[in-house]
Amino acid sequence: MSDEIGKRIGDYQILNELGSGGMGRVWRVRNLITDRIEAMKVLLPDLAGRQDLAARFQREIKLMASLEHPNIAALRTAFTDENRLVMVMEYVEGTNLADRLHQGTIPVADALNYIGQTLSALSYAHERHVIHRDIKPSNMMLTPHGVIKLMDFGIARAGEERSLTMTGTTLGSLSYMSPEQVKGEATDARSDLYSVGVSLYELVTGQRPFQAASDYAIMAAHVKETPKPPIEVQPGLPPALSEIILMAIAKEPAQRFQTAEAFRNALSTVDAPPVVVLPSDQMPTMDSIPPAPAVTPRPLIAPAAPISVPIAAQKSATPVTLPPVPPPARPGAHRGLYMTLGALVVLAVLVAAGIYIPRGSKTQADSSPPQPAVQPSETTPATPTPPASIGSAADTQSTPTPPGTTLAASRELMENTSAVPSGKGSGAGKHLASHDKAASPPQEAGGGQSAVAAEEAAQLDRLEKEVDQLSNRAAAVNSGLDRLQQQQASAGYGLRGDMVARQASMKNNLSKAEEAVQRGDVARADKFTKAAESDVEALERFLGR
């Protein structure tokens, strides 16, 4: 109130009020001796008739005085004044994360940094058996230097803490309470971790996992309702972060992170890629993108060259030139091409034979041996052969018939060059088949099988190494789980059931992977190696590695 401003409490002068609640008020004060600004918390307005509460607070004050951590607001001193218990705390300049959330959601990298510092403070406090019990963004102060200071430590630390916790509780505090706190059950360090998970949920999504119009509805939601995964609220979140938050706010304490350090280690594995925003003058434009290189289509079938058949007549020699054969309309229609080319060659031979052979040349045909159709003489130049391609004219083009070729030789040439692409032994079919074979490089017999065998051997070597590495990681995981089970057994609770099942699955999959590697079964070895690796990674995250 304004009437308190300027008053003195001991050696401190009240400057202004920082906050108030059922437990008292918090003031910003100045030490009149040192001139240092502090935060003063009046815990109880009157100790008369409440000595039990005063004694418990005094024990808490002594415990807090032992906490010295860079992420915890330090206790300076404490005293009584006119039946009031007074705590003098470190005054932290800056803003709390609840006020920071009014500006919008916090970037993932910043949220991980802030929560990591909070968990560091809690890990330190939990080792000294100090439970905060009121973790929420408004108790996380962010300094101008980016340091988180955890406030209000130990207010409800005593054994019968339920009445102290519920006294003066606000709606904001209820939104972060663990289910066991809501039900009034015994609480431990994992209750703080639940509250941290709820706070992290809000920092990265901008909303709390449970929202309702009444205190009772919020309390019931903590106990019964399943929260919506953070990644569904904010699709841009890393999936691993969403899983970590859901694990932290599990209903059962045994299914959460068991220590603040394990929680912090899990967060350290989350990759939060920075968002890079280019200046407007550096943004790429369509003009700045180089054009794709021009691609010249290569014809599947080379254009046919004109077929010339020189004819030596007794009285005149007139070359007969046939028009070029147009390429087929579609690449795969080789049968029609072969038949067309064969028919044209036969026609050219028949024309040449009819013009060349004179009447009464039967004796010459009987005495003249047939000349080879594919061997040019010194006086007859050979027709140039175009580049070989599938279905090109070179496959069916005949060498010009040399002078002196008889009708019998012409008939033999016609029979050997008839294009019948049925593969039944025709000369043209044989020639085309031999050309197709020459177009592709020969392979050694069994070469494909040897390549497959070599590839499988390489895969087996790789899988064997992966299984060996997984075995080493699994051994470390088993050792960590054994230690954790021993610690939890001493505290009266056991290991999470889903982690026990995951450990058994890891051992089973790893055993099957090793067996498949020994038998040389690549597919089975790869399947169970991946399954075992998934189990190992889940258990490592649980252990905070």
Domain end among 40, 65, 90: 90
Q: Are 320 and 352 within 8 A, CB to CB?
A: yes
So which residues are the catalytic ones? Answer: 134
Report yes or no on 442 lying in a domain: no
434 burial level (CB within 10 Å; 0-12, 13-18, 19+): exposed
Whether residue 44 sits in one domain with residue 17? yes
Whether residue 103 sits in one domain with residue 83? no
Report yes or no on 285 lying in a domain: no
Whether residue 135 sits in one domain with residue 214? yes
Whether residue 86 sits in one domain with residue 102? no
DSSP letter at 139?
G
Report yes or no on 196 lying in a domain: yes
Report yes or no on 182 lying in a domain: yes
Question: Rounded to whole angstroms, what are the CA distances from 37 to 2, 3, 12, 175, 344?
Answer: 19, 20, 9, 32, 109
Whether residue 60 sits in one domain with residue 188? no
Q: What is the DSSP string of 21-88?
A: ETTEEEEEEEETTT--EEEEEEEES--TT-HHHHHHHHHHHHHHHT---TTBPPEEEEEEETTEEEEE
Report yes or no on 283 lying in a domain: no
Whether residue 319 sits in one domain with residue 207? no
Domain count, the chain: 4
Q: How far apart are CA 339 and CA 136, in angstroms?
A: 86
Report yes or no on 81 lying in a domain: yes
Tell me the CATH number at 23: 3.30.200.20
Report yes or no on 261 lying in a domain: yes
Tell me the CATH number at 118: 1.10.510.10
Q: Starting at the edge strand that comes first in sequence, how are the strands of the sheet with 140-142 ordered?
A: 95-96, 140-142, 148-150
Alpha helices in 302-446 (DSSP H): 334-356, 362-367, 407-417, 427-439
Determine the number of helices (DSSP H) and then strands (DSSP E) in the chain: 18, 11
Domain end among 90, 107, 141: 90
Q: Where in the sequence is the domain holding 79, given as residue range(s)? A: 2-90
DSSP letter at 379?
S
Report yes or no on 385 lying in a domain: no
- Dihedral, CA of residue 106, residue 112, residue 116 and residue 117, to nearest 10: -40
Query: Going along 465-534, which residue ranges are E strands?
Result: none
Per-residue confidence (pLDDT) for residue 2, from 0 to 100: 61
Per-residue confidence (pLDDT) for residue 349, from 0 to 100: 61
Whether residue 478 sits in one domain with residue 416? no
Whether residue 100 sits in one domain with residue 75? no
Look-up: residue for tokens 């995981």? Answer: 477
Whether residue 29 sits in one domain with residue 161? no
Report residues of the chain scoring pLDDT below 50.
1, 156-172, 275-322, 325, 328-333, 356-411, 413-415, 417-445
Strands 148-150, 307-309: parallel, antiparallel or unpaired by DSSP? unpaired
Name the token pair of 167.
């006294």
Whether residue 20 sits in one domain with residue 144? no
Domain end among 37, 68, 90: 90
Whether residue 351 sits in one domain with residue 431? yes
Whether residue 213 sits in one domain with residue 129? yes
